């Protein structure tokens, strides 16, 4: 076995140039995975550090009926609090060195004298706290003094600097509870890593009135442990002192629950990025398959010799696999380095955007390196296993074989039959998903079928590829001989001589083109659906909401009502509620004007049911939870208030709208019965006849003092929705570019290797009089045939996925199928150009080939 | 020094040939070819004068490394000389730009190689017309038909090389060379990979195309039986033409070769072709 390994190592060394691109694609895929893992771990650590750096040894907070997601705590308006007594009770507990009342909130907007918002522009929240001496400080003062007395505020230095605020500058603090004037008396720097949030500190009484609107109340009680007292031992004592109405957490528990919350948010992003990496690796594995296939084919004589002198089949196979391991090892090592490098670059970029992760540094989880090598070697070995088995089948008589570049014969009838069957399964699954889902609204089943269909169509692509290549390439290239004469005939012959190789090369391009096409169709459909809905004349003329997603103070609603030309104001409030152990968003709406303002679409029931105190549930949740008209629903609010409601209506979510997960809806009156403190979250305005044009300026004027309110008319609303769609789309296109790059590398790789493989043929052609230009044309035409094939099949596949996806998401408001023809045309032209571009290097090399090298005896 | 004198009497004297293009289809004058430099420097050809008379079959013989293939590659425009001059007909090759050289090869030289003569993706007919197709030239149909029938290839025209025997493949290569009516056909060891019956067929074919069609052929070989089909045989040793025989018999050739090989054993080195990169 040692000998075989030595042969393997020397083979890799001897065919360095041919292995280069295989190493590169492995490195690209692995690098992307490494970067994703490290970056998500780093961001996780940074946010966890932020949430826990200020955590006290033991924190007691009002018991929540269920765990509320961070971003939803702000919107309910009903912040649960503890009284001052609780602080006293904790301070009397043995083992407690000091107890403090804490006020913490996210519902704060800082505004400068000119009415401009102060704070992070990245969309990160501004957190408000009362200032007190902490054992584990959130922030430390860098200038001025601590807030003492009403009208004194300390801000985080980056926010103040960005807004050109100096000590003594006047600011206003806007919260759902109140708007408070204040003077900047100090600047603070975050004690841990600050991933870009804004910080506001007030003295305790001011914080209670300005931030909470509840004098004498606290959001939590914190305790510093006496020296030598264990946090874990202290926590139960604190809990006993306060009774059953509180949740108690140690510093360590705070940290882990914060980490879990951040992780659950990050995991979506992480999975999306890993998905992209998987696509890149899949596409890259096609390249590796081709490389090894061609290396094995070119070495049949050598392998035959090994067999002739006594190597067993298994040994020959193991030798080729050994080469794959080396390539994978090398690719993984390069990818690991590149991924870490990429993270360092990204960290610098983030720092430029105000997100400073330097305090945590790059967090490289222990599993990163093993994962990188496992992935790199695994993918390479899996891709090389087919060629390796073929190498093992090399007959000892191969030594005697005349060596011409191999021509494949047959595409395998069994393979075609199985491929056809898989294709039928794929089509069936996609069709079922497309036809069934809009009717039932069962996204889970539909999504599963869709995923099955997409996966099956990929498998069918691989199985049917060679037969398809022979068909499609032959059809595409029939015109070649007529258009390009002898060179065309040669190119045609070369493109169809190895259908399996052509198929594998084209498959990489096919996957990229199919993904881009289907995403383009989905985005275009969503866009068209939004436009159709918004321009249908239904719905509000203006929608007002808080910029950071915070609720609107009551005076905003009053001010809006007073603006002339406003025909109706439809309020919407939110409260997080627990339903069967999961969080749902329960909104309360003005039922009198709802139909005109938001044009809800009901599957069953109507707005009248809400007015009668019944519940409206969204179609997807109704299906998932088995709810029908008349079903009883038991909800629990954060403060523990129970609510028993009856389903009176089932509705469809608006295009591009709705929050993730369940959205339940009741009338404002119903909501007020359980959550009287809930604040207005958004206002939908209808203009009086003829007043719509002048309404915008009037609203801006009326709300000049409330810059945290975003005022959107229909076009703004449409653009905002579109902007979100476009942002996601651009991001995905950018990431898919990785797959396309790998596909292009694949085309280059195959062409380059086939030029090497056909050295003698090209030499012969040159000897009998083919000019260099003719050789170049021949290689380019081959590339054109392959990339056209990949593009055509990719477009067909992409149309299938896109159309099925649109039907699948009908329930999410993607109601109209729309094909972005311009994008599709650009994609087709681009893919063909890419093919030609890929041929530049190999064509030049082929043309430069020495006539005599080709003719030299073997 | 009888060998030396033979060399002098039979080869062209460069200064005297008044209209060399009329007598010779191809001609080399003082041709040297050197590969590499410094310690790896190998002189493959060392001031060779040679002429290929129109309408004759000229064989070039010599032991391995004598430079016979190199000479033919230089004469046929496949390779460039280090020193000296080469003509095809009246066209001098030396100093010709790459493209012109390619076109000259395509239009005025035909090739038959030892192996790998045909493009595997083209059928026999397409291989035969390939040079003309590449040139965008139409062939004389009657002539093409005649060549095909003469070589007995009619039933095989639609077959690809993979479906033909070695002899058949070599006949297709001959047909490809003949249909263009080139100034010179270079046949480099055309029988090297064939059994004796197929080899006999191919050699007979080459002989007939000289006798019946007036074709000029240069045949590189180390098989005395093959050389016996020639009108003249040039013998090369260590990059020089050392002797020439006219219409020899196979035993004559064998005897001359044996003498040369004796000399080769005596000489200091026998480098030449063997040091050239021959692919894997």
- The pair of structure tokens assigned to B189 is 């060891």
Residues from chain B contacting residue A489 (CB–CB below 8 Å): 122, 126, 133
Average pLDDT over residues A791-809: 89
pLDDT at A473 over 90: no
> How confident is the model over B68-114, as pLDDT tens digits?
888 888 888 888 889 999 999 888 888 888 888 888 888 888 888 88
Q: Say yes or no: A783 and A748 in one domain.
A: yes
Residue holding tokens 């009484």? Answer: A205
pLDDT at A402 over 70: no
- The pair of structure tokens assigned to B65 is 């490394």
**pLDDT at position A349:** 83
- Evaluated on CA atoms A63, A68, A72, A76, the torsion sign reads negative
* Phi, psi (deg, nearest 5) at residue A697: -60, -40
Could you tell me which of A511, A748, A762, A709 has the C-alpha nearest to residue A22?
A748
Q: Identify the domain containing residue B105 by its residue range.
A: 2-275
Q: How confident is the model at residue A397 (pLDDT cuts 50, 70, 90)?
A: low
Q: Say yes or no: A138 and A238 in one domain.
A: yes
Average pLDDT over residues A405-409: 53
**pLDDT at position A372:** 92
**pLDDT at position B3:** 39
Last residue of a domain, one of A401, A430, A462: A401
Give domain status of residue B250, yes or no: yes
The residues, ordered by sequence, that sit 6+ positions from A432 with a Cβ below 8 Å of its Cβ are A449
A487 touches chain B (CB under 8 A): yes
A779 touches chain B (CB under 8 A): no
**pLDDT at position A377:** 93
Q: Say yes or no: A373 and A275 in one domain.
A: yes
Point out which residues pair with A199 in neighbouring strands. A127
**pLDDT at position B276:** 38
Could you tell me which of A352, A364, A46, A100 has the C-alpha nearest to residue A225?
A100
Q: Is this complex's ipTM strictly greater than 0.95?
A: no
- The pair of structure tokens assigned to A345 is 């670059």
How many C-beta atoms surround the C-beta of residue A721 within 10 A? 23
Give the whole-angstrom CA distance, residue A838 versus residue A780: 9
Average pLDDT over residues A13-18: 71
CB–CB of A587/A663 below 8 Å? yes
CB–CB of A649/A602 below 8 Å? yes
**pLDDT at position A494:** 80
B98 touches chain A (CB under 8 A): yes
Note the helical H segments in A83-175.
Answer: 84-91, 157-162
What is the full DSSP assignment across A757-815? HTHHHHHHHHHTT--HHHHHHHHHHHHHHHHHHHHHHHHHHHHHHHHHHHHHGGGGT--
Residue holding tokens 């222990």? Answer: A366
pLDDT at A398 over 70: no
Q: Which of B33, B80, B116 to mutate to test the interface with A (most CBs of A within 10 A)?
A: B116
A817 CB-contact burial (10 Å; exposed 0-12 / middle 13-18 / buried 19+): middle
Q: How confident is the model at residue A341 (pLDDT cuts 50, 70, 90)?
A: very high
- What percent of chain A has a predicted confidence (pLDDT) above 70? 90
Point out which residues pair with A552 in neighbouring strands. A680
pLDDT at A333 over 90: yes
Q: How far is A850 from chain B (nearest CA, A)?
A: 9
Give the whole-angstrom CA distance, residue A404 versus residue A127: 73
Pairing of strands A58-62, A220-225: antiparallel
Pairing of strands A126-130, A152-156: unpaired
pLDDT at B280 over 50: no
**pLDDT at position A202:** 92
How many C-beta atoms surround the C-beta of residue A171 within 10 A? 20
pLDDT at A707 over 70: yes
Q: How far is B185 from chain A (nearest CA, A)?
A: 11
Give the whole-angstrom CA distance, residue A813 versus residue A721: 12
**pLDDT at position A858:** 40
> How confident is the model over A517-562, as pLDDT tens digits?
888 888 888 888 877 766 665 577 888 888 766 778 788 888 888 8
**pLDDT at position B1:** 35
Torsion angle of C-alpha atoms A335, A340, A344, A349, degrees rounded to 10? 50
**pLDDT at position A830:** 86
Q: How far is A770 from chain B (nearest CA, A)?
A: 6
Q: Give the residue, B53 or A735, on which the prediction is more confident.
A: B53
pLDDT at A335 over 50: yes
pLDDT at B278 over 50: no
Q: Say yes or no: A46 and A135 in one domain.
A: no
Give the whole-angstrom CA distance, residue A390 versus residue A501: 14
Could you tell me which of B68, B159, B74, B69 has the C-alpha nearest to residue B118?
B159
The mean of the pLDDT values for chain A is: 82
* Phi, psi (deg, nearest 5) at residue B29: -135, 115
Give domain status of residue A416, yes or no: no
Q: Say yes or no: A577 and A642 in one domain.
A: yes
**Count of the separate structural domains present in chain A:** 4
Q: Own/partner pairs for A488-492, CB < 8 Å, 24+ apart?
A: A488/A781, A489/B122, A489/B126, A489/B133, A490/A765, A490/A778, A490/B119, A490/B121, A490/B122, A491/A777, A491/A778, A491/A779, A491/A781, A491/A782, A491/A785, A492/A781, A492/A785
| Minimum Cα–Cα distance from B103: chain A residue | A769
Give domain status of residue B280, yes or no: no
A206 touches chain B (CB under 8 A): no
CB–CB of A708/A111 below 8 Å? yes
Average pLDDT over residues A215-241: 86
Give the whole-angstrom CA distance, residue A757 versus residue A50: 59
* CATH number of the domain encompassing residue B187: 3.40.50.300
Give domain status of residue B81, yes or no: yes
pLDDT at A179 over 50: yes
Residues from chain A contacting residue B121 (CB–CB below 8 Å): 407, 490, 493-494, 497
Q: Say yes or no: A79 and A225 in one domain.
A: yes
Q: How far is A444 from chain B (nearest CA, A)?
A: 51
**Count of the separate structural domains present in chain B:** 1
A210 CB-contact burial (10 Å; exposed 0-12 / middle 13-18 / buried 19+): buried
**pLDDT at position B212:** 86
Which of A49-58, A391-400, A750-759 is the most confident on average?
Answer: A750-759
Q: Say yes or no: A256 and A374 in one domain.
A: yes
Average pLDDT over residues A13-38: 84
Last residue of a domain, one of A682, A707, A732: A707
A581: three-class secondary structure by DSSP = coil
Point out which residues pair with A544 in neighbouring strands. A683, A711
CA B92, B94, B100: angle at the middle one, nearest 5?
75
Give the whole-angstrom CA distance, residue A642 versus residue A451: 39
Q: Say yes or no: A275 and A384 in one domain.
A: yes
> How confident is the model over A620-667, as pLDDT tens digits?
778 778 888 998 999 888 777 888 999 999 887 665 454 445 578 899
- The pair of structure tokens assigned to A249 is 């957490």
How many C-beta atoms surround the C-beta of residue A141 within 10 A? 17
Question: End-to-end distance of chain B based on CA atoms, in angstroms?
Answer: 41
What is the full DSSP assignment across A11-24? HHHHTHHHHHHHHH
Residues from chain B contacting residue A768 (CB–CB below 8 Å): 105-106, 111, 130-131, 134, 176
Q: How confident is the model at residue A407 (pLDDT cuts 50, 70, 90)?
A: low
Q: How confident is the model at residue A152 (pLDDT cuts 50, 70, 90)?
A: very high
Last residue of a domain, one of A244, A267, A291: A244
Residues from chain B contacting residue A761 (CB–CB below 8 Å): 116, 119-120
Q: How confident is the model at residue A810 (pLDDT cuts 50, 70, 90)?
A: confident
Q: Say yes or no: A137 and A232 in one domain.
A: yes
**pLDDT at position A355:** 67
Question: End-to-end distance of chain A based on CA atoms, in angstroms?
Answer: 29
Give domain status of residue A345, yes or no: yes
- The pair of structure tokens assigned to B66 is 């004598």
The residues, ordered by sequence, that sit 6+ positions from B206 with a Cβ below 8 Å of its Cβ are B57, B174, B185, B187, B190, B217, B219, B229
How many C-beta atoms surround the C-beta of residue A512 within 10 A? 30
- The pair of structure tokens assigned to B159 is 């077959």
- Which of A:9-68 have CB within 8 Å of B? none
Q: Give the residue, A51 or A238, on which the prediction is more confident.
A: A238
CB–CB of A118/A171 below 8 Å? yes
- The pair of structure tokens assigned to A384 is 């090389």
**pLDDT at position A332:** 94
Could you tell me which of A253, A130, A302, A812 has the C-alpha nearest to residue A522?
A812
Does B114 sit within 8 Å of A407, measured CB to CB? no
> How confident is the model over B147-184, as pLDDT tens digits?
898 888 899 999 988 888 888 888 899 899 888 888 89
Q: Say yes or no: A597 and A497 in one domain.
A: no
Q: Say yes or no: A299 and A233 in one domain.
A: no
Give domain status of residue A436, yes or no: no
Give the whole-angstrom CA distance, residue A213 versus residue A803: 52
Q: Say yes or no: A348 and A322 in one domain.
A: yes
> How confident is the model over A204-223, as pLDDT tens digits?
999 888 888 888 888 888 88
**pLDDT at position B271:** 43
B214: three-class secondary structure by DSSP = coil
B53: three-class secondary structure by DSSP = strand
Q: Which of B67, B100, B121 to mutate to test the interface with A (most CBs of A within 10 A)?
A: B121
Q: How confident is the model at residue B59 (pLDDT cuts 50, 70, 90)?
A: very high
CB–CB of B145/B90 below 8 Å? no
CA A821, A823, A826: angle at the middle one, nearest 5?
105
A458: three-class secondary structure by DSSP = helix
> How confident is the model over A154-166, as pLDDT tens digits?
998 888 888 888 8
Give the whole-angstrom CA distance, residue A236 versus residue A239: 5
How many C-beta atoms surround the C-beta of residue A360 within 10 A? 21
Secondary structure of A381-438 in the HEC alphabet?
HHHHHHHHHHHHCCCHHHHHCCCCCCCCCCCCHHHHHHHHHHHHHHHHHHHHHHHHHH
Does A768 sit within 8 Å of B131, measured CB to CB? yes
Q: Identify the domain containing residue A766 by its residue range.
A: 473-538+714-858
How many C-beta atoms surround the C-beta of residue B188 within 10 A? 23
Average pLDDT over residues A399-425: 70
> How confident is the model over B3-13, as pLDDT tens digits?
333 333 344 44
Point out which residues pair with A196 in neighbouring strands. none
pLDDT at A201 over 90: yes
Does A769 sit within 8 Å of B135, measured CB to CB? yes
Give the whole-angstrom CA distance, residue A515 versus residue A800: 11
> How confident is the model over B27-39, as pLDDT tens digits?
999 999 888 877 8
């Amino acid at each position: 076995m040692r000998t075989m390994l030595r042969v393997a190592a020397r083979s890799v060394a001897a065919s360095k140039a041919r292995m280069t691109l295989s190493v590169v694609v492995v490195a690209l895929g692995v690098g992307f995975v490494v970067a994703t893992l490290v970056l998500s771990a780093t961001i996780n650590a940074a946010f966890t550090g932020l949430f826990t750096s200020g955590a006290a040894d033991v924190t007691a907070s009002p018991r929540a009926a269920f765990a509320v997601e961070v971003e939803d705590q702000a919107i309910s308006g009903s912040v649960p609090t503890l009284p001052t007594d609780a602080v006293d009770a904790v301070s009397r507990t043995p083992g407690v060195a000091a107890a403090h009342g804490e006020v913490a909130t996210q519902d704060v907007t800082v505004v400068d004298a000119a009415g401009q918002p102060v704070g992070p522009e990245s969309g990160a929240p501004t957190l408000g706290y009362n200032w007190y001496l902490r054992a584990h400080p959130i922030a430390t003062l860098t200038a001025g003094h601590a807030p003492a007395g009403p009208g004194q505020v300390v801000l985080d230095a980056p926010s103040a600097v960005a807004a050109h605020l100096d000590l003594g500058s006047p600011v206003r603090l806007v919260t759902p509870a109140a708007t408070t004037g204040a003077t900047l008396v100090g600047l603070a720097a975050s004690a841990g890593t600050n991933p870009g949030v804004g910080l506001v500190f007030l003295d305790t009484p001011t914080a209670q009135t300005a931030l909470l609107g509840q004098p004498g109340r606290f959001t939590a009680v914190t305790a510093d442990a006496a020296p030598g007292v264990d946090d874990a031992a202290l926590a139960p004592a604190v809990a006993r002192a306060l009774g059953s109405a509180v949740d108690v957490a140690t510093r360590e528990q705070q940290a882990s629950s914060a980490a879990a919350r951040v992780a659950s948010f990050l995991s979506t992003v992480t999975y999306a990025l890993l998905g992209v990496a998987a696509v890149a690796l899949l596409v890259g594995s096609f390249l590796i398959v081709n490389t090894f296939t061609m290396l094995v084919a070119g070495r049949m004589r050598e392998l035959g010799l090994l067999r002739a002198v006594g190597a067993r089949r298994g040994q020959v196979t193991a030798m080729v696999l050994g080469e794959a391991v080396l390539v994978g090892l090398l690719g993984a090592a390069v990818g690991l380095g590149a991924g870490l490098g990429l993270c360092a670059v990204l960290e610098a970029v983030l720092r430029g955007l105000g997100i400073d992760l330097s305090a945590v540094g790059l967090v490289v989880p222990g599993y990163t390196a093993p994962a990188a090598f496992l992935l790199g070697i695994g993918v390479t070995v899996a891709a090389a296993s087919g060629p390796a088995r073929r190498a093992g089948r090399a007959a000892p008589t191969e030594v005697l074989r005349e060596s011409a570049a191999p021509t494949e014969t047959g595409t395998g009838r069994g393979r075609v039959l199985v491929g056809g069957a898989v294709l039928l399964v794929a089509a069936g699954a996609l069709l079922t998903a497309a036809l069934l889902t809009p009717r039932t609204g069962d996204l889970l089943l539909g999504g599963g079928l869709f995923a099955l269909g997409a996966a099956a169509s990929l498998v069918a692509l691989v199985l049917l590829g060679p037969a398809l290549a022979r068909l499609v390439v032959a059809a595409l290239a029939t015109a070649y001989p007529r258009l390009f004469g002898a060179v065309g005939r040669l190119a045609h012959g070369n493109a169809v001589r190895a259908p399996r190789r052509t198929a594998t090369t084209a498959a990489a391009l096919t996957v990229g083109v199919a993904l881009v096409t289907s995403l383009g169709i989905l985005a275009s459909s969503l866009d068209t659906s939004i436009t159709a809905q918004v321009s249908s004349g239904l719905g509000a003329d203006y929608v007002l909401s808080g910029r950071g997603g915070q609720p609107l103070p009551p005076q905003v609603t009053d001010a809006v009502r007073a603006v002339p030309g406003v025909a109706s104001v439809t309020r919407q409030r939110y409260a997080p509620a627990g339903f069967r152990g999961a969080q749902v968003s329960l909104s309360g709406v003005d039922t009198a004007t709802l139909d005109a303002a938001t044009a809800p679409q009901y599957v069953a029931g109507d707005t009248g049911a809400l007015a009668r105190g019944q519940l409206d549930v969204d179609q997807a949740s109704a299906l998932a939870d088995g709810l029908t008209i008349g079903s009883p629903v038991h909800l629990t609010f954060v403060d523990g208030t129970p609510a028993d409601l009856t389903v009176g209506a089932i509705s469809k979510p608006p295009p591009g709208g709705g929050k993730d997960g369940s959205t339940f809806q009741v009338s404002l009156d119903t909501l007020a019965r359980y959550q009287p403190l809930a604040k207005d979250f958004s206002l939908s305005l209808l203009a009086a006849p003829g007043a719509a044009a002048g309404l915008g300026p009037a609203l801006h004027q009326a709300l000049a003092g409330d810059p945290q309110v975003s005022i959107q008319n229909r076009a703004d609303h449409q653009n905002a929705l579109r902007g979100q769609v476009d942002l996601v789309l651009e991001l995905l296109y950018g990431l898919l570019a990785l797959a396309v790059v790998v596909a292009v590398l694949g085309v280059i790789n195959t062409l380059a290797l086939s030029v090497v493989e056909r050295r003698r043929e090209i030499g012969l052609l040159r000897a009998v009089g083919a000019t260099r230009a003719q050789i170049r044309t021949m290689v380019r035409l081959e590339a054109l045939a392959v990339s056209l094939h990949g593009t055509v099949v990719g477009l067909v596949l992409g149309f299938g996925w896109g159309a099925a996806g649109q039907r699948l998401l009908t329930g999410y408001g993607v109601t109209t199928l729309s094909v972005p023809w311009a994008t599709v045309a650009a994609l087709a032209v681009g893919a063909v150009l890419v093919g030609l571009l890929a041929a530049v290097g190999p064509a030049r090399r082929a043309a430069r080939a020495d006539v005599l090298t080709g003719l030299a005896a073997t | 020094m009888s060998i030396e004198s033979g060399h002098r009497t039979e080869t062209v004297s460069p200064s005297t040939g008044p209209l060399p293009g009329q007598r010779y289809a191809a001609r080399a004058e003082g041709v040297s070819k050197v590969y590499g430099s410094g310690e790896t420097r190998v002189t493959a050809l060392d001031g060779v004068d040679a002429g290929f008379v129109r309408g004759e079959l000229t064989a070039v013989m010599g032991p391995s490394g004598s430079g016979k293939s190199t000479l033919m590659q230089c004469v046929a425009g496949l390779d460039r000389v280090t020193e000296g001059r080469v003509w095809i007909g009246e066209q001098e090759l030396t100093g010709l730009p790459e493209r012109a050289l390619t076109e000259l090869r395509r239009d005025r030289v035909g090739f038959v190689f030892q192996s790998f003569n045909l493009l595997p993706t083209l059928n026999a007919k397409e291989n035969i017309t390939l040079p003309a197709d590449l040139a965008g030239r139409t062939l004389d149909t009657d002539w093409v038909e005649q060549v095909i029938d003469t070589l007995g290839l009619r039933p095989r025209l639609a077959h690809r090389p993979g479906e033909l025997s070695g002899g058949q493949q070599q006949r297709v290569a001959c047909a490809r060379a003949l249909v263009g009516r080139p100034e010179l056909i270079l046949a480099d060891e055309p029988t090297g990979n064939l059994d004796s019956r197929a080899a006999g067929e191919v050699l007979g074919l080459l002989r007939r195309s000289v006798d019946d069609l007036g074709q000029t052929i240069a045949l590189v070989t180390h098989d005395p039986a093959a050389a016996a089909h020639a009108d003249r045989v040039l013998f090369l040793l260590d990059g020089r033409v050392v002797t020439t025989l006219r219409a020899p018999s196979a035993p004559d050739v064998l005897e001359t070769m044996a003498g040369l090989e004796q000399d080769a054993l005596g000489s200091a080195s026998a480098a030449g072709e063997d040091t050239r990169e021959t692919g894997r």
